[in-house]
Chains A and B, each alone.
Chain A
Amino acid sequence: MTSAPADSATTGSPASGASEDLLVVTDLQKHFPIRRGLLQRQVGAVQAVDGMSFTVRRGETLSLVGESGCGKTTTGRMLTRLIEPTGGTILFEGRDITHLSAGRMRPLRRDVQMIFQDPYGSLNPRHTVGTIVGAPFRLQDVKTEHGTKRTVQELLELVGLSPEHYNRYPHEFSGGQRQRIGIARALALKPKLIVADEPVSALDVSIQAQVINLLEDLQDELGLTYVTIAHDLSVVRHMSDRVAVMYLGKMVEIADRTPLYERPMHPYTVALMSAVPIPDTGRRTKRDRIRLVGDVPSPVNPPPACRFHTRCWKAQEICRTVEPPLAELAPGHRVACHFPENLTDLPVPVARTNGPGEPQD
């Protein structure tokens, strides 16, 4: 598992048609209208996602991280076209799928699948495992060589369940096993892209590791491309080739895994990393945490210019007036900040030590 070459991450405004890019997203937006009153007139909008641009290369894992309400799930749902974007474009293998109708989208559903967060809510309790995992074949009218049942049983084996589970119901399984059923369903039609929304956050630690390993094995075996949505930064570091950090509907930083974790540049990323509790008691006193004050502002009325300025310790006048562009400050490392951290070449492990100019509580 190597991270993809750094130079191809440089596509600031993504060039379409490059065969390496499976997914090209440009200026993606989703505003949910707020309606009030007798006439249900629109009085505002929740700017859930507001201008995301990125590419996903074949065979890589791109993770979207951020706090709740930052728009990462909305982005994932737009990529799978479960909801329709209000602006921007999504190119899948060079084809514009931004506003495809449900009927035109259906053939593409073979190639784009989703794994859901909640292994309890995402499986129909009245259907057997066989029906659930076999549903994609039925819906897409796909005939397999030895019949659907045989294929489903092979899929169950692939994800580490036993073929005898075919006639059982979801309630007979544990959380980790249910998540495997969801994964088998997503894999049924051999998709090219899988969007996994918090695939392991509902599972116990010991089971989490099993599912993460399974996802990695399947990626190697079947050449899958993942877009993972997660909030656990240590899990993200383990799974991803590239990581995009989101804040209030905007992408604030995107980079390959190693540079992002060793030299995060956006103050928000730095704060996120320093907030992760480290299971090491010796570190308790040595580590000064950057305390972000307050809560994430409402996406109905996001702060002007740089959206992070209300909580940022480096904020200056310019942050309140001029929106920082997502600029490439190092090869493959794009950051939207006027005063980025770690601009030197020295590898400073920021998760552990404090740079100058950070508050000491």
Chain B
Amino acid sequence: MTTNTAPQVGDPAVRPGIEGFLQVKDLRVHFPTDDGVVKSVDGLSFNLERGETLGIVGESGSGKSVTSLSIMGLHAPGTARISGQVVLKGDKLIGASPEHVRRLRGKNMAMIFQDPLSAMHPFYTVGHQIIEAYRVHNNVSKKVARKHAVDMLERVGIPQPDQRVDEYPHQFSGGMRQRAMIAMALSCDPELLIADEPTTALDVTVQAQILDLIRDLQQEFNSAVIIITHDLGVVAELADDILVMYAGRAVEYATAHEIFTAPQHPYTWGLLGSMPRLDRERTERLKPIQGTPPSLINVPSGCPFHPRCTYAQLTGGASETDRPDFVEISDRHFLACHLPTQDRRRVWETDIKPSL
């Protein structure tokens, strides 16, 4: 992948000469409420190719899920004010008619939700729900569609799929429901798969099975995958690139390897430092990020992270007044931070790196 070496203001969506498979440009999703406008997503850009996996991480309220719902066009009309661009294979999704987006959903893009019990209809059998989705996009008889549903259930590792296909969601265990939902999402070979916290509700052993499954299926179908999670362990398993979000904005974007070995944003440092890790010596104390995530109605001025940032005073007040640009600091590593480069390098080398 070739990029200009000179730092450029902009976003990962602007990769010269490349027509992205999925391009998100300056996405803004605002919800007007009685208390004020909730700026859930405020100027987010990224780019994704087929066969790649992007991990989006952040705390609750950072806008991860809202982003995925706007890509899928799933916000109820009239509730959200959406601006910016989402382009899937040259097809503009924002501003397109709901009917047009509806035809893309399932066939071109599909979603795996966090809670399979509420995402599946309790009144219909699992098979019925997969068959319905398949027949919307493929002109086939019920019999063929049913055969396809059984195949899909088998593919995701459900035992005795020809019997299980006629069971209801409540008869499945948590892990099997999640598998069934993956089968449903994949039934039309989507090119883009968005998984929103796909394993949060599951036990670790089942989580491992599901992550393996997503990885295997991605290789098989060569789809683009966006995985949204708060668990850095999960993205480390799956993602090629990682986008770190805070208060509705991207604060850091780099390859997964880079995020874990040479992160640059103080928030990413905080996230990595605050979680206990099995692969490190046990430390006496964890290093939490001070304070709490901001309200999205009154987002702090300047850099939204500055009230919680240990290094905010090193920026000479800029972090309180100016919103930092999201710039490319090295090849495919984007950052929104006011810290001067020397200071950041020094802090990373002396304070952060030894303790990670």
Which A residues contact B (CB, under 8 angstroms)? 1, 67-68, 174, 176-177, 204-210, 212-213, 216, 231, 233-235, 237-238, 257, 261, 271-284, 289, 291-292, 294-296, 351-352, 361
State which of B84-92, B129-137, B172-180, B217-225 sits at the interface with chain A.
Answer: B172-180
CA–CA, A124 and B303, complex, Å: 36
Q: List 29 A-B contacts (CB under 8 A).
A: A1-B284, A176-B292, A177-B292, A205-B232, A209-B288, A231-B203, A231-B204, A234-B277, A237-B276, A237-B278, A238-B282, A238-B286, A271-B205, A272-B204, A274-B208, A275-B205, A275-B208, A276-B233, A277-B233, A277-B234, A279-B235, A279-B260, A279-B277, A282-B261, A289-B212, A295-B173, A295-B175, A296-B173, A351-B278
Report which of B203, B261, B276 forms a contact with A67, defined as CB distance below 8 A. Answer: B203
Q: Are B275 and A208 in contact (CB under 8 A)?
A: yes
Closest A residue by C-beta to B174:
A68
B289-A206 in contact (CB<8A): yes
B14 within 8 A of A: no
Contact of B231 (CB < 8 Å), options: A176, A233, A277: A277
A209 engages B287 (CB within 8 Å): yes
Does B256 contact A234, Cβ atoms closer than 8 Å? no
In the bound assembly, the distance between CA atoms of A205 and B288 in angstroms comes to 8
The reply to whether B204 and A276 form a contact with Cβ atoms under 8 Å apart is yes
A281 touching B236 by the CB < 8 A rule? yes
Residue from A204, A280, A351 within 8 A of B59 (CB atoms): A204
How distant is the Cα of A296 from the Cα of B203 in the complex, in angstroms? 10
Which residues of the other chain, A, contact B208 by a CB distance below 8 angstroms?
A: 274-275, 277, 289, 291
Does any Cβ of A come within 8 Å of B300's Cβ? no
Stretch at the interface among B20-28, B41-49, B266-274: B266-274
Chain A residues whose CB sits within 8 angstroms of the CB of B256 once the complex forms: 281
**Measured CA separation A273–B270 after assembly (Å):** 25
Identify the closest chain A residue to B215 (Cβ): A284
The chain A residue with its CB closest to the CB of B271 is A205
**B236 contact set on A, CB distance < 8 A:** 277-281, 283-284
Q: Which residues of B contact A205 (CB under 8 A)?
A: 59, 230, 232, 271, 274-275
Asked if A234 and B204 sit within 8 Å, CB to CB, the answer is no
B89-116 residues with Cβ-Cβ distance < 8 A to A are none
Which one, B212, B274, B275, B278, contacts A261 given CB within 8 A? B278
B235 contacts which chain A residues (CB < 8 A)? 279
Chain A residues near B176 (CB-CB < 8 A): 295
B32 to chain A, nearest CB (A): 21
Q: How distant is the Cα of A257 from the Cα of B278 in the complex, in angstroms?
A: 12
Say whether B346 faces chain A, with CB atoms less than 8 Å apart: no
The smallest beta-carbon distance between A329 and chain B, in angstroms, is 23
| Contact for B279 among A278, A292, A361, CB less than 8 A | A278
Contacts of B212 in A (CB 8 A): 289, 291, 361
Q: Which 3 A-B pairs have the closest CB atoms?
A: A277-B233, A209-B288, A206-B289
Determine how close the nearest CB of chain B comes to the CB of A207; give it in whole angstroms: 7
Q: Do A212 and B205 touch across chains, with their CB atoms under 8 A apart?
A: no
Q: Are A275 and B282 within 8 A (Cβ)?
A: no
- Closest CB-CB distance, A205 to chain B, in whole Å? 5
Nearest-Cβ distance from residue A213 to partner chain B, whole angstroms? 6
Are B205 and A282 interface neighbours, CB within 8 A? no
Out of A206, A271, A278, A295, which one reaches B278, CB within 8 Å? A278
Which chain B residues lie closer than 8 Å to A257 at the CB level? Answer: 282
Residues A275 and B207 in contact, CB atoms below 8 Å apart: yes
Q: Answer whether residue B324 sits at the interface, using C-beta atoms and an 8 A cutoff.
A: no
A267 to chain B, nearest CB (A): 12
Contact yes or no, B286 A276, CB < 8 A = no
The smallest C-beta distance from B65 to any residue of chain A, in angstroms, reads 14
Say how far B38's CB is from chain A's closest CB, in angstroms. Answer: 16
User: With a CB–CB cut-off of 8 A, which chain A residues contact B175?
Assistant: 295
Give chain A residues whose Cβ lies under 8 Å from the Cβ of B237. 277, 284
Task: Kindly provide the distance from the CB of B183 to the nearest chain A CB, expressed in whole angstroms.
Answer: 16
B286 touches A291 (CB 8 A): no
Q: How far is the CB of A308 from chain B (nearest CB, A)?
A: 12
Q: Whole-angstrom distance from the CB of A70 to the nearest CB of chain B?
A: 9
Bound together, the chains give a CA A351 to CA B280 distance in angstroms of 11
Cβ of B254 to closest chain A Cβ, rounded Å:
11
Name the A residues within 8 Å of B272 (CB-CB): 279
**Bound-state Cα–Cα, A279 to B234, Å:** 7
Determine how close the nearest CB of chain B comes to the CB of A199; give it in whole angstroms: 14
Which single residue of chain B is at the shortest CB-CB distance from A258? B282
Check B341 for interface membership: any CB of A closer than 8 A: no
Residue contact B205 to A272, C-beta cutoff 8 Å: yes
- Residue from A206, A238, A278, A361 having most chain B Cβ neighbours under 10 A: A206
Is A234's CB under 8 angstroms from B260's CB?
Answer: no
> Which residues of the partner chain B approach A1 to less than 8 Å between Cβ atoms?
284
Distance, CA A348 to CA B240, complexed state (A): 30
Query: What residue in chain A is nearest B258 (Cβ atoms)?
Result: A281
Q: Which residue of B lies closest to A284 (CB)?
A: B237
Known: A279-B232, A284-B236. A208 touches B205 (CB 8 A): no
A278: which of B277, B283, B288 is its contact (CB, 8 Å)? Answer: B277
CA distance A279 to B276 in the complex (A): 10
**A207:B275 contact, CB within 8 angstroms:** no
Shortest CB distance A235–B (Å):
6
- Check if A279 sits within 8 Å of B257, measured CB to CB: no
Chain A residue nearest to B291 (CB atoms) is A206
Could you say which of A174, A281, A361 contacts B292, with CB atoms under 8 Å apart? A174
Q: How far is the CA of A139 from the CA of B272 in the complex (A)?
A: 43
CA of A295 to CA of B286, assembled, Å: 34
B143 within 8 A of A: no
Min C-beta distance of A237 to chain B, whole Å: 6
* Smallest Cβ-Cβ distance to B278: which chain A residue: A234
Q: Are B207 and A277 closer than 8 Å at their CB atoms?
A: yes
Q: How far is the CB of B244 from chain A (nearest CB, A)?
A: 12
Closest residue of A by beta carbon distance from B57: A205
Contact of A235 among B276, B285, B292 (CB under 8 A): B276
A208 to B287, CA, bound (A): 10
A213 and B285 within 8 A (CB): yes
Q: Give the distance to chain A from B156, nearest Cβ to Cβ, in Å.
A: 14
Give Cα A271 to B207, complex, Å: 12
The chain A residue sitting closest to B288, CB to CB, is A209
Q: How far is the CA of A124 from the CA of B334 in the complex (A)?
A: 45
> How close is A361's CB to chain B, nearest CB, in angstroms?
8
Chain A residue numbers with a CB within 8 Å of B231 are 277
B200 to chain A, nearest CB (A): 10
- B275: chain A residues at CB < 8 Å are 205, 208-209, 234, 279
